[in-house]
Each structure stands twice: as C-alpha cells, then as structure tokens.
C-alpha cells in the first residue's frame, strides 16, 4: 500500500443545502438520457403477430401503456434514438448470463423503454425465458438481442404509431 491521501481536503465539500456548482442543470421533466453507445443493427428480425396476441391475453402485460410524459420523450428524442437506449439497456441489463439484480433491473417507469419491457416480457431474464424462450443463465447472443430490440421497438410503434424516426 502506498501512503494514504491526506485527510485534509483541498476543496471543501459544499455545505448541506448548497447546490453543487459543477452539477449539470436539473431537468425535472426529463428522464436521464441513456448512453446510446450500442450500434443499432441495419435490419431487425420480424416479430410474429402471435406475440402481440399472446401479450394482449395477459392481464398483467396488457395494462402497461405509455403516459403523456413517455410520449413527449419519445417524440422529442425520436424512435431511432430511443431504440439506441433500448439496445444499451439490453446489452447492459439483460444480456449477461447473470445480470445484476435480475428480476428487479427494470424500473416500472421513467423511460418509455422500461414500460415497453414490462409490456412485452423483456424486463428480466425470467420473463424473457417465459415469453421468448431464451434460456436463463446464458449470455444473450446478438440475434437474440436484436430480436428483443425488435419487440420493444415494435411495441413502441404499436403504442404510438406517430412516433418519428
Ligand atoms: Zn421480468
């Protein structure tokens, strides 16, 4: 071990109640933008109509809908950008063989993709296995990630056909 840092801090912490001057400006209405570092595939696999029929028969899944805030966000960001967020969520929160906090990794609200995930059974690995047949405990491969992205995007388009690219 090297010497510990001196306990005396060069820059004192802001006293409680004082805003951090270096913090980004607060945006009360907007959900935090997800980093869209994951490239989107040029084409997405087709989603069978059968899936939408099965989902509509689930009382739990069918009760999820975008609210006004989700729609405003979707229209402001555009479907392509929001799909990039979805690809990022899939890669980081679902694709690992054993995702962190699996079963609780998808908030109920705060981003249109979260709502779409609960509506389509793509919220956690248990739901993905049940609804889409991709076994738990194995890393999701690219075609499987693309399929989940196609399902989320398909649901967003069905929910809000006017959302732009
Ligand atoms: Zn789930």
Q: What is the pLDDT of residues 42-91, one digit of tens each?
A: 899 999 999 999 999 999 999 999 999 999 999 999 999 999 999 999 99
- Provide the whole-model pTM: 0.78
- Could you give the CA distance from residue 88 to residue 66 in angstroms, rounded to a whole number? 20
Residue 38 CA to ligand 1 center (angstroms) comes to 22
155 within 8 A of 120, measured Cβ to Cβ: yes
Mean pLDDT, residues 108-134 taken together: 98
The secondary structure of residue 84, as a DSSP letter, is H
Residue 119 CA to ligand 1 center (angstroms) comes to 10
pLDDT of residue 67: 97
- Could you give the CA distance from residue 116 to residue 88 in angstroms, rounded to a whole number? 14
């Amino acid at each position: 071990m090297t010497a510990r840092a001196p306990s005396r801090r060069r820059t004192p912490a802001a006293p409680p109640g004082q805003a951090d001057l270096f913090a980004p400006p607060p945006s009360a209405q907007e959900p935090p933008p997800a980093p869209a570092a994951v490239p989107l595939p040029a084409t997405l696999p087709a989603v069978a109509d059968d899936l939408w029929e099965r989902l509509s028969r689930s009382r739990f899944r069918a009760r999820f809908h975008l609210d006004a805030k989700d729609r405003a966000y979707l229209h402001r960001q555009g479907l392509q950008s929001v799909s990039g967020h979805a690809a990022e969520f899939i890669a980081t929160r679902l694709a690992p063989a054993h995702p962190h906090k699996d079963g609780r990794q998808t908030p109920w609200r705060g981003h249109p993709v979260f709502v779409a995930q609960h509506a389509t059974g793509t919220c956690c690995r248990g739901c993905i296995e049940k609804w889409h047949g991709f076994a738990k405990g194995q890393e999701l491969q690219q075609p499987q990630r693309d399929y989940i992205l196609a399902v989320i995007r398909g649901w967003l388009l069905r929910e809000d056909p006017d959302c732009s690219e």
